[in-house]
Copies of this chain bind each other. A is one copy, B any other.
């Protein structure tokens, strides 16, 4: 049913992509409900998305196109707006979803609000509106089939509209891994490359037990040979520091890594090394489909807590597919870890870290 203060017959006029609403629109729609931007007098200018929402709610009865005077109800205005911009359906659905969650929000159109690039909406804290100068989320609205460059993320909320028009929100932020794992590395532990892994023989106990490199081979209670299985990443990192001695040295390990993973091995090694240098222990994230799970501080593997983060390593120019992002973030959420993407530049330069969380606004 229409709201009690619904005024049948209220109309907007479509001019240059905006919908101008007169009468007492400023007080009724802007001041009281956060729609549009004030014009002179009591009129406001609404974006198409806002006008469509007012039409859907029955607060506007029609929008009249100034150029040809034809009058549009909700269905016709939605069709007209979708024809005018491919981005309209997705933006409208995000706008409507945030409204239904009790937020006021403004399109981040140039001149409307002070917004950075790559933002579609500025969302105000619940109970606040356009005039209060506070921002809860800067939202970019995309369809699930859109790809979004990693460089456009961080300090943004991504609102993804899936094919059935539900909206999933991802909060993205830059982070800096740091941990407290420390201890001296041994020197020249003998190791063999065996296909896409390595075996270190008779390593000092601390290499595994305190620093958490590798995995012991064999049953611990059998008369087993003392050997430590190392990943090629671990072997390369340790070989570069003289801690393990492999035939052919560091280069042979990196060659073995590149043979099975190509450039990806170099990227992963840079992320691995950056984490170790920050005192964080990266171990394989294979069981979670990630590159690493990480432990901020390890002092004794017998007394190991849960890993805190999952890390996927990507080239810095990576563009995220929303379905892949949803998969990673949902999995991390389910195992109570934080999903972090390591973005590795092609040239020199530091690895950057992007944390992504699911958000329920």
Contact = CB atoms under 8 A, between A and B. Distances in A.
B162 A201 contact: no
B163 A287 contact: no
Contacts of A287: 162, 166, 168, 326, 330
Contact of A1 (B6, B223, B290): B223
Interface stretch (A71-79, A112-120, A346-354): A71-79
Contacts of A197: 89, 163, 165
A143 B286 contact: no
Contacts of A196: 89, 143, 145, 163
A289 B333 CA distance: 13
Given A223-B3, A229-B165, A331-B327, A286 B58 contact: no
> How many copies are assembled?
2
Nearest to A74: B225
A299 interface: no
Nearest to A221: B1
A214 B322 CA distance: 21
A1 B221 CA distance: 8
A360 B67 CA distance: 69
Interface in A280-322: 283-284, 286-290, 322
A256 to B, nearest CB: 11
A141 B293 CA distance: 24
Given A89-B195, A223-B3, A289 B328 contact: yes
A297 B157 CA distance: 36
A89 B29 CA distance: 70
B218 A56 contact: yes
A323 B1 contact: no
Contact of A289 (B2, B164, B219, B326): B326
A224 interface: yes
23 contacts: A3-B223, A6-B223, A56-B217, A56-B224, A57-B223, A58-B223, A75-B192, A75-B201, A78-B192, A89-B197, A100-B218, A143-B195, A145-B261, A163-B233, A164-B229, A165-B197, A165-B229, A166-B286, A286-B323, A287-B330, A289-B326, A331-B331, A331-B334
Going nearest first, the 8 A-B pairs with the smallest beta carbon separation are A289-B327, A162-B286, A334-B334, A58-B223, A165-B229, A163-B231, A2-B223, A164-B284
Interface of A: 1-3, 6, 56-58, 74-75, 78-79, 82, 86, 88-90, 93, 96, 100, 143-145, 160, 162-166, 168, 192, 194-197, 199, 201, 214-215, 217-219, 222-225, 227, 229-234, 260-261, 283-284, 286-290, 322-324, 326-328, 330-331, 334-335
